[in-house]
Amino acid sequence: MAEIPRTPPQGPGKGIFDSAQRIVTILVGMIETRLRLVVVELEEEKANLFQLLLMACITLIFTAFGLMSLLVVLFFAIDPAYRLMAMATTTAVLLLLAVILGVWTISKARRSTLLNASRRQLKIDRALLEKEDQE
How would you class 122 by CB atoms within 10 Å of its CB: exposed for 0-12, middle for 13-18, buried for 19 or more?
A: middle
Higher pLDDT, 110 or 92: 92
Domain boundaries, the chain: 21-134
DSSP per-residue letters across 60-75: HHHHHHHHHHHHHHHH
* Amino acid 126: pLDDT: 78
Confidence of residue 135 (pLDDT cuts 50, 70, 90): low
> What Rg, from alpha-carbon coordinates, does the chain have?
32
* Amino acid 4: pLDDT: 61
pLDDT tens, position by position, 50-108 = 999 999 999 999 999 998 898 889 889 999 999 999 889 988 998 999 999 999 998 98
Confidence of residue 12 (pLDDT cuts 50, 70, 90): low
d(CA 72, CA 99): 23
Q: Does pTM surpass 0.85? A: no
